């Protein structure tokens, strides 16, 4: 038995190895790739015959009897139990093992649906056996009829790899549907979002549990910001696995298929880590730069030996949940090191939204670390999106007639956090957004200063011919509605939008300020 990385199962058990490709879904078979990788590996003797030769492993039959903990098992992830070269006698022996270990749930998947139907009466279909067929294209839906005709008490479909549109499927008698895009290297066949949505709609129509496994590759995913693309995400899958920002992981083969959530400020968030009575969420865990794998492995090794020294800081939510707001990386390492306990400390703050916590996290990093000016700017710059969001909300309030202060200047706020001048932040932003990757890298490595890097990109900018009209001082940009103001901010057309009550205020500003700001006139502005 081996722990599985397959999202819908717990373990894998391979009483046979080897297979034969029989349909277009088999073109990029992951089992073939792994077999070719392992067949010359002395530690993997089961695969030495290669992929094209079916081998029945009698020595593997007794393995499930040694399992003490009930689990969900994918049978023959590296083969097909109903391959033509597997004898009925051997299949019966595999079924006998499953019959005699009712504490485990077995998932058997095949593309040889005709043999499932032929052998059905000769097999003992106990309640712990789920029988499924692969259906990755419309032409493969014919397999469903033979599955429906067998004596298995539980039946499921694996719509993976989903390589062609399926316009219709009769899901009568089907208890579960898994959908996933093709993954791997090479010329991966695409999966369209419309196909996935249609499959989900069919599941809704027939009231069948729906499990969306993965997009397969990131280019299939219509949402490039899907957090499950990131390997550190609890629900990471190849190419990500969110559909319209939601997870669909219904799994009737396990006792509890619920996705743990935590409620914060009126919204719900997926819990990433649950340990030591602590909880983390992705929005905070990924807010600051994450430790790379090598350093995390080193930290895990150190914590395994010496324990966690600095306490993990948490905030107690109104519902009584301990939300980690500092120390997410140490918590991850402690979990990997299997420590029995870790030191914790409650932080008592009157947070009113998630952005308050994010800004607190940045300020806390300044307190506990000795940073250079560049490092302070880099850290504070992570708050740019949070500050811009606050600026847009301020403008939105103004648009609704609510009392507001002047618009928030993003660069001013970042500079205040970092304890540096505004010009340094503006120039840092210019380098990050306009310079070549090599120049940005040199700046971050300390090989060139922010000013030198900024001057470099200014030197490389093409010189525009001077027109006579350019000698005339441009008029201040005055916007008349909130939507236009927010659009200009979003496109970085201006650095900030100032909410003013009287246009006379503009005359008090310098030419440079008039140029970089837009002005929104509101009678109720302070």
Write down the domain spans for the chain.
Answer: 262-368
**What's the rounded Cα separation, in Å, for the pair 218 and 237?**
10
Contact by Cβ (8 Å): 424, 434: no
Give the angle subtended at the CA of 118 by the CAs of 57 and 174, to the nearest 5°.
Answer: 95
Token pair in block for residue 272: 């990433």
Beta-bridged to residue 129, according to DSSP, are 106
Q: Find how far residue 481's CA is from the centre of its chain.
A: 37
Per-residue pLDDT of the chain (526 residues; tens, 9 = 90+): 455 567 888 899 999 999 999 998 988 888 998 999 998 999 899 999 999 999 999 999 999 999 989 999 999 999 999 999 999 999 999 999 999 999 999 999 999 999 999 999 999 999 999 999 999 999 999 999 999 999 999 999 999 999 999 999 999 999 999 999 999 777 889 999 999 999 999 999 999 999 999 999 999 999 999 999 999 999 999 999 999 999 999 999 999 999 999 999 999 999 999 999 999 999 999 999 889 999 999 999 999 999 999 999 999 999 999 999 999 999 999 999 999 999 999 999 999 999 999 999 999 988 877 888 888 898 888 888 888 887 777 666 665 666 555 567 888 888 888 889 999 989 999 898 888 889 999 998 889 999 998 998 877 766 556 555 554 566 778 777 666 777 776 666 777 777 776 676 777 777 777 777 777 776 555 5
Is the torsion defined by CA of 192, 193, 198, 199 positive or negative? Answer: positive
According to CATH, the topology of domain 262-368 is 3.90.1530
**What's the rounded Cα separation, in Å, for the pair 211 and 234?**
16
**What's the rounded Cα separation, in Å, for the pair 219 and 230?**
14
**What's the rounded Cα separation, in Å, for the pair 8 and 160?**
12
**What's the rounded Cα separation, in Å, for the pair 473 and 469?**
9
Burial label, 92 (beta-carbon count in 10 A; 0-12, 13-18, 19+):
middle
């Amino acid at each position: 038995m081996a722990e599985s990385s397959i999202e819908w199962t717990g373990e894998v058990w391979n009483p046979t190895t080897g297979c034969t490709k029989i349909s277009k879904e088999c073109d990029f078979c992951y089992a073939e790739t792994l077999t070719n990788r392992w067949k010359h590996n002395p530690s993997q003797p089961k695969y030495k015959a290669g992929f094209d030769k079916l081998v029945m492993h009698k020595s593997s039959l007794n393995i499930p009897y040694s399992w003490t903990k009930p689990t969900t098992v994918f049978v023959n992830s590296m083969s097909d139990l109903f391959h033509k070269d597997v004898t009925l006698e051997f299949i019966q022996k595999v079924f006998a093992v499953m019959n005699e270990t009712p504490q485990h749930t077995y998932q058997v998947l095949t593309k040889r649906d005709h043999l499932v139907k032929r052998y059905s009466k000769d097999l003992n279909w106990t309640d712990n056996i789920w029988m499924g067929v692969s259906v990755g294209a419309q032409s493969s839906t014919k397999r469903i009829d033979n599955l429906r005709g067998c004596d298995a008490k539980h039946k499921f479909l694996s719509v993976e790899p989903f390589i062609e549109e399926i316009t219709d499927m009769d899901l009568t008698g089907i208890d579960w549907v898994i959908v996933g895009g093709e993954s791997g290297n090479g010329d991966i066949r695409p999966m369209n979002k419309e196909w996935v949505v249609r499959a989900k709609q069919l599941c809704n129509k027939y009231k069948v549990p729906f499990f969306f496994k993965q997009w397969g590759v990131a280019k299939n995913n219509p949402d490039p910001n899907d957090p499950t693309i990131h390997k550190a995400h609890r629900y990471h899958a190849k190419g990500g696995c969110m559909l319209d920002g939601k997870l669909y992981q219904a799994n009737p083969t396990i006792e509890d298929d619920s996705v743990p959530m935590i409620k914060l400020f009126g919204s719900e968030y997926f819990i990433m880590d649950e340990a030591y009575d602590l909880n983390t969420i992705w929005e905070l865990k990924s807010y600051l730069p994450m430790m790379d794998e090598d350093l995390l492995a080193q930290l895990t090794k150190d914590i395994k030996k010496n324990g966690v020294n600095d306490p993990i800081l948490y905030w107690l939510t109104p519902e009584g949940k301990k939300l980690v707001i500092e120390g997410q990386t140490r918590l991850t390492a402690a979990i990997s090191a299997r420590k029995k306990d870790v030191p914790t400390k409650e932080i008592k703050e009157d947070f009113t939204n998630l952005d308050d916590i994010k800004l607190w996290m940045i300020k806390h990093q300044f307190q506990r670390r000795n940073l250079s000016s560049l490092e302070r700017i880099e850290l504070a710059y992570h708050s740019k999106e949070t500050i811009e969001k606050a600026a847009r909300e301020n403008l939105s309030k103004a648009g609704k007639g609510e009392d507001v202060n002047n618009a928030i200047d993003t660069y001013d706020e970042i500079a205040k956090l970092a304890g540096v001048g505004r010009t340094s932040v503006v120039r840092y932003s210019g380098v990050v957004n306009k310079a070549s990757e090599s120049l940005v890298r040199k700046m971050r490595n300390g090989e060139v200063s922010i000013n030198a890097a900024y001057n470099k990109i200014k030197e490389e900018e093409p010189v525009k011919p001077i027109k006579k009209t350019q000698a005339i001082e441009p008029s201040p940009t005055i916007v008349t509605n909130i939507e236009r103001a927010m659009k200009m901010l979003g496109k970085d057309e201006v650095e900030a939008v100032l909410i003013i009550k009287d246009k006379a205020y503009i005359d008090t500003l310098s030419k440079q300020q008039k140029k970089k700001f837009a002005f929104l006139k509101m009678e109720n502005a302070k």
